[in-house]
Amino acid sequence: MGHLDIGSIFKQESDVRDTYDCVIIGGGPGGLTAGIYAARGGLATLVLEKGVEGGTLNFTPVIENYPPYSSIVGMELAQKWSEHAERMGVTILHEGVVEVSFFGENLTVKTDQGRTIAGKTIVISTGSSYRLLGLPSERRLAGKGVSYCALCDGALFKNKKVAVVGGGSSAIDEALYLAQTAGSVTVIHRRDQLRAEKALADKAFQNPKIRFYWDTVVVDIEGEQSVESLLLENVKTKERAREPFDGVFIYVGLDPSSGCFKGVLDMTEDGFIIADPHTLETSVKRVFAVGDVRQKEVRQIVTAAADGAIAASFIIKKYF
Amino acid sequence: MPLLKEKDQQAVRERFAKELKNPVKINFFFSREDTSEETRITGELMDEIGGLSEGKLDVESIEGKDSERARRLRVDKMPALVIYGDGDERDNIRFFGLPAGHEFATLLHTLITVSNDYHVELPDALVEKVRAIDKPVKIQVFVTTSCPHCPPAVVVSHYFAMLNPMITSEMIEANQFDDLSRRYGVQSVPMTVINEGKQTFIGSRKPEELYNAIEKAL
Ligand SMILES: Cc1cc2nc3c(=O)[nH]c(=O)nc-3n(C[C@H](O)[C@H](O)[C@H](O)COP(=O)(O)OP(=O)(O)OC[C@H]3O[C@@H](n4cnc5c(N)ncnc54)[C@H](O)[C@@H]3O)c2cc1C
């Protein structure tokens, strides 16, 4: 039997205070690691998580590059991580942050339950969320054959013909997962080679159920009640072809979850928060950004964790 | 070999010791013809968690849809779990299929809530509205056990059933009940189906939105 979630998501939080030394927004690998370091440094630490602790780990079937696990189920790593944080004394509250107000040393966040919490320091670790292809038909057929979560919906396409759009590591991850149950998996990628990690790509090339359409984009997703076919275009020859599919899983990139910090913190045009590379402090003093939400080169679990450690250590050193 | 790892057993035992109050009944309905792995494991898992509860969880395995108890509790498909407080024999909080993976968290939370006098975590104004529903409502939440956003959808639906006996709430593992999934065109989970398809929606919605969907379905 697979891993059992013994579930802290429904745990009740009785004693939430109004003020913490360190308020962390987002409980993925970056936020939880910042929490572990902050709590061990003696700071009263709160993590606010609007979804599931462990963040994106929960949506990753298996992880093979977070040392020293040569292979670990994402859900299991997520659970270990949140247990670790709680054992170190981090309080985890299941509420999402909808608004922030940063004035001088007055740093407060407002949650979707209407709670206002102040932090002497703030760590933003909200990660990113999947990007849409941007087709009108994609919205219409979302949940009806168009999916962004292979782990959730993959099992519903047993022996079916599915497509995966994208060529990065997460797309290939998902293609390999889907190939365990689907009849066939077609990876549709707009370039002529994968961006994915070589170890993953090699696995996919060797998998007899997975095939590749290079230089190809999805122009339209077609179907009345559910996905029936894809209209594809070769970007080089401009040739178009229609092909039947039962489902399409989209992994064309991630957008930073930084909406509620717009106009408050310096960001790149794409919405990634800019932080000092040595300390991870943002354009506002006492406010830090770690993990996938910040501007950086390598967005991985191990680098998110490292960011968390760096920010929390600097916070302890400079502000407490 | 126990299904729960040593460490998880310990965590569940501790949580039960701390959070279970009144005794809770788990009725596990199965059919003898069904030799699937999932059904076998469901039974074993219930026995195992029963053993971690210091007698608070009373697990009973019941064979057959045609049994007297199945009829009384309106069990129309199996494997099924019906959960109720000691002495009330309510039939409206149900799990169909193995509550493993993320749904194990849902199961634990449901047991604990039933055990604490069905005390649900919903805003008072909504509690009043849900209690006022006076027509039969059936909510079916289709899930897979690897879906991280599914548990909240099931929990809210179960809360509604706890508040009002007119409401029946069912978690349905979409793979184990593929005929039913096909009937409602389940291609993404969680998918909530109200009154046999009068209203359906995909994703975990806010409790108020579930209420609005029920109103529309009636
Ligand atoms: C399909 C897939 C497969 C991947 N596979 C791998 C892999 O094999 N190895 C690897 O190293 N990396 C992998 N990655 C990348 C890795 O998951 C990320 O780099 C890592 O999770 C980033 O951690 P994070 O803490 O910055 O953000 P996340 O893990 O995304 O966590 C952010 C958290 O913040 C929460 N949040 C967002 N907004 C708010 C708010 N307003 N209020 C409260 N909470 C909020 C979210 O709910 C989420 O839980 C994969 C990514 C994907 C999508």
* Model pLDDT for residues B133-185, shown as the tens digit of each residue: 999 999 999 999 999 999 999 999 999 999 999 999 999 999 999 999 999 99
B181: part of which helix (H) or strand (E)? helix B178-183
**pTM of the shown model:** 0.90
User: Where a domain ends, among A235, A250, A265?
Assistant: A250
At A14 the pLDDT is 63
Tell me which amino acid residue B119 is: H
What tens digit of pLDDT does each residue of B35-53 get? 999 999 999 999 999 999 9
For residues A249 and A130, give the distance between their C-alpha atoms in angstroms, rounded to a whole number. Answer: 11
Residue A161 in any domain: the answer is: yes
**Would you say residue A252 has pLDDT above 80?**
yes
User: Where a domain ends, among A195, A215, A250?
Assistant: A250
**Judgement on whether residues A123 and A206 belong to the same structural domain of the protein:** no
Contacts of B151 in chain A (CB under 8 A): 5, 7, 9-10
At A9 the pLDDT is 62
For residues B81 and B170, give the distance between their C-alpha atoms in angstroms, rounded to a whole number. Answer: 10
Q: Using an 8 Å Cβ cutoff, are A163 and A185 in contact?
A: yes
Pair of tokens at residue A54: 């462990």
Total domains, chain A: 2
Q: Label each residue of chain A as H, E or C.
A: CCCCCCCCCCCCCCCCCCEEEEEEECCCHHHHHHHHHHHHCCCCEEEECCCCCCHHHHHCCEECCECCECCEEHHHHHHHHHHHHHHCCCEEECCCEEEEEEECCEEEEEECCCCEEEEEEEEECCCEEECCCCCHHHHHCECCCEECCHHHHHHHHCCCEEEEECCCHHHHHHHHHHHCCCCEEEEECCCCCCCCCHHHHHHHHHCCCEEEECCEEEEEEECCCCCCEEEEEECCCCCEEEEECCEEEECCCEEECCHHHCCCCCECCCCCECCCCCCCECCCCCEEECHHHECCCCCCHHHHHHHHHHHHHHHHHHHC
What tens digit of pLDDT does each residue of B52-83 get? 999 999 999 999 878 999 999 999 999 999 99
**Would you say residue A221 has pLDDT above 90?**
yes
Residue given tokens 């940063």 in the structure block: A102
Ligand 1 within 6 A of CB of A173 = yes
What tens digit of pLDDT does each residue of B4-39 get? 999 889 999 999 999 999 999 999 999 999 999 999
To the nearest whole Å, the CA of B175 is away from the closest chain A CA by 7
**Would you say residue A8 has pLDDT above 70?**
no
Residue A1 in any domain: the answer is: no
Please enumerate in sequence order all residues whose Cβ is within 8 A of that of A126, keeping only pairs 6 or more positions apart, or say none.
A25, A26, A97, A256, A257, A258, A293
At A113 the pLDDT is 87
For residues A318 and A315, give the distance between their C-alpha atoms in angstroms, rounded to a whole number. Answer: 5
Residues of A catalogued as catalytic: 149, 152-153
Closest CB to B144: pick one of A5, A58, A152: A152
Whether A145 contacts chain B with CB within 8 A: yes
Residue nearest to atom 49 of ligand 1 (CA): A55
Residue given tokens 């509205």 in the structure block: B129
Residue A24 in any domain: the answer is: yes
At B163 the pLDDT is 97
Cβ atoms < 10 Å from Cβ of A71: 9
**Judgement on whether residues A215 and A290 belong to the same structural domain of the protein:** no
Boundaries of CATH 3.40.30.10 in chain B? 6-91, 124-217
Q: Using an 8 Å Cβ cutoff, are A13 and A20 in contact?
A: no
Percent with pLDDT over 70 in chain A: 97
What tens digit of pLDDT does each residue of B79-132 get? 999 999 988 889 999 999 999 999 999 999 999 999 999 999 899 999 999 999
**Judgement on whether residues A145 and A67 belong to the same structural domain of the protein:** no
User: Where a domain ends, among A196, A217, A250?
Assistant: A250
**Judgement on whether residues A124 and A10 belong to the same structural domain of the protein:** yes
For residues B169 and B185, give the distance between their C-alpha atoms in angstroms, rounded to a whole number. Answer: 19
At A5 the pLDDT is 82
Pair of tokens at residue B150: 């599914």
**Judgement on whether residues A213 and A242 belong to the same structural domain of the protein:** yes
Ligand 1 within 6 A of CB of A166 = no
For residues A111 and A116, give the distance between their C-alpha atoms in angstroms, rounded to a whole number. Answer: 7
Minimal-distance CA residue of chain B relative to A1: B3
What tens digit of pLDDT does each residue of A57-104 get? 999 999 999 999 999 999 999 999 999 999 999 999 999 999 999 998
Q: Which of A2, A146, A285 is nearest to B100 (CA)?
A: A2
At B2 the pLDDT is 86
Asked whether the beta carbons of residue A2 and residue B174 sit closer than 8 angstroms, the reply is no
At B154 the pLDDT is 97
Q: Using an 8 Å Cβ cutoff, are B161 and A141 in contact?
A: no
ipTM over 0.90: no
Find residues 233-252 of chain A whose CB sits inside 8 Å of chain B.
247
What tens digit of pLDDT does each residue of A185-210 get? 999 999 999 999 999 999 999 999 99
- The mean of the pLDDT values for chain A is 95
Architecture label for domain B124-217: 3-Layer(aba) Sandwich (3.40)
DSSP 8-state symbol, B189: S
Does the domain spanning B6-91 belong to CATH 3.20.20.80? no
Contacts of B203 in chain A (CB under 8 A): 143
Which residues of B make CB contacts under 8 Å with A? 3-4, 8, 11-12, 15, 41, 100-106, 108-109, 121, 144-152, 155, 174-175, 181, 185-189, 191, 202-203
Ligand 1 within 6 A of CB of A31 = yes
Q: Tell me which of A246 and A13 has the higher pLDDT.
A: A246
**Judgement on whether residues A210 and A295 belong to the same structural domain of the protein:** no
**Judgement on whether residues A125 and A258 belong to the same structural domain of the protein:** yes
Residue nearest to atom 47 of ligand 1 (CA): A51
**Would you say residue A179 has pLDDT above 90?**
yes
For residues A306 and A290, give the distance between their C-alpha atoms in angstroms, rounded to a whole number. Answer: 9
Nearest atom in ligand 1 to the alpha carbon of residue A33 is 25
Q: Label each residue of A89-149 as H, E or C.
A: CCEEECCCEEEEEEECCEEEEEECCCCEEEEEEEEECCCEEECCCCCHHHHHCECCCEECC
Q: Using an 8 Å Cβ cutoff, are B167 and B129 in contact?
A: no
**Would you say residue A12 has pLDDT above 70?**
no
Domain that residue A113 falls in: 6-129+254-319
**Would you say residue A13 has pLDDT above 90?**
no
Q: What is the mean pLDDT of residues A93-119?
A: 95
At A41 the pLDDT is 98
